Amino acid sequence: MQILITAERIQQRLDELAVEIKQHYQGQPLTIVGVLTGCLMFLADLVRRLDMPIRLALVQASSYRGAVTRPGELRVRTDLLPDLRGRHVLLLDDILDTGRTLVPLVEQLRAMEPASLRVGVLLHKEGRQELPLKPDYCGFHIPDLFVIGYGLDYNDEYRQLPYVAVLPMPSSSTDLA
């Protein structure tokens, strides 16, 4: 596999993002909502760098299921979320690809009346976005490649890799099923 972003570079960038987040919120209490399951590595490593009052929450949202590399129908479970009314909220996801996951999630969270809502992503894939959304915090801009590692998966595998790598694709789409 071709490593696109090394483990060391990811950790360095998380240090930088933590500084940006701390400067923005200036010690105000923050609720960080992570999008399961891909955000877990990003969320865990980032919050350890934030010395400020934090609540953690998780939401389940997925448009990729099984051995596919193209998004399908979005399924969202917000029943794990606490009351966000009047709270500063940071929504964290592993990747902004088409926007078909994050844009509806942002709309749902806004309806919960937070004091503020910002979005952070580890990766922003260039050239694939179909719905408008500019993340407030972005780890890396990447080309239109299917990537795995550091929380990102293919068929629920590879999440544990400490780096982001390009998944070698089979020669035909029938090999993906």
CA distance 77 to 58: 9
Active site residue 97: yes
Q: Long-range contacts for 67-71 (Cβ within 8 Å, ≥24 apart)?
A: 67/154, 67/155, 67/176, 67/177, 68/176, 69/146, 69/154, 69/167, 69/169, 69/176, 71/97, 71/98, 71/100, 71/101
**Model confidence over 54-67: pLDDT tens digits?**
999 999 876 655 55
13: left (phi over 0), alpha (psi -120 to 50) or beta: alpha
Catalytic residue chosen out of the listed positions 79, 94, 97, 136? 97
Domain locations in the chain as residue ranges? 7-19+29-46+83-142
Q: Return the CATH number of 7-19+29-46+83-142, one of 3.30.70.20, 2.60.40.10, 3.40.50.280, 3.40.50.2020.
A: 3.40.50.2020
Whether pTM > 0.75 for this model: the answer is yes
**Model confidence over 67-99: pLDDT tens digits?**
555 555 677 767 778 889 999 999 999 999 988
Residues in the chain, pLDDT under 70: 62-73, 77, 170-177
